[in-house]
Amino acid sequence: MRKLVLAAAGLFLALGLHAQELPNTQIKDLESGKKIAFNSIIEKGKVNVISFWATWCIPCKKEIKNIANALPAWKKEADFNFITISIDETRAEGVARTYAKSQGWSFPFYIDPNSDLKRSLNFQSVPYTLIIDKTGKVAFTHIGYEEGGESQVLAKIKELSK
């Protein structure tokens, strides 16, 4: 019975996240240095993939690198935006910026320096992937990364892009 209650509670929380409006929590653009509301970076009418990461997170870096390498091919299969948001603290902002630039990231990269967005979205660890559908609603979330796991992300992007 306890497992059933826990499963129901987990489903309720998952459905609640998927139904919620995206927060207007302030994040910082690592290129321009300007603060911007999270919900304003989401392009409605298009699938948006957000990868939360940290400079100290090896699986995060590996996931983003693999997605970045696959992006040209993925973009031929579906129309979507790819965005990264670092959860590093303010004092590591320069490290996050330097890392992103050294990797040649051609997609937007932001930082959530006080973890306000992380708290708003209610997740605990990275890598954390969030896929927003064309209507601006959370359609998919995933925590962690295993080599090849990005294929699940592409399948969801293609499904939502139809």
The rounded mean pLDDT for the chain is 90
Which is nearest to 129 in space by CA: 103, 150, 158, 147? 150
| Nearest C-alpha neighbor of 106 from the set 84, 128, 125 | 84
Q: Strands 80-86 and 47-53: what pairing? A: parallel
CA distance 66 to 106: 14
Does the domain at 2-161 match CATH 3.40.30.10? Answer given as: yes
Q: Which residues of 58-112 form beta strands (DSSP E)?
A: 80-86, 109-111
Instruction: Tell me the pLDDT band of 21, cut-offs 50, 70 and 90.
Output: confident
Task: Report the pLDDT value the prediction gives residue 20, as an integer from 0 to 100.
Answer: 62
pLDDT tens column, 70-106: 999 999 999 999 999 999 999 999 999 999 999 999 9
Domain ranges of the chain: 2-161
Backbone angles phi, psi at 124, to 5 degrees: -110, -30
**19-27 average pLDDT score:** 86
pLDDT digits (tens, 9 = 90+) for 121-159: 999 999 999 999 999 999 999 999 999 899 999 999 999
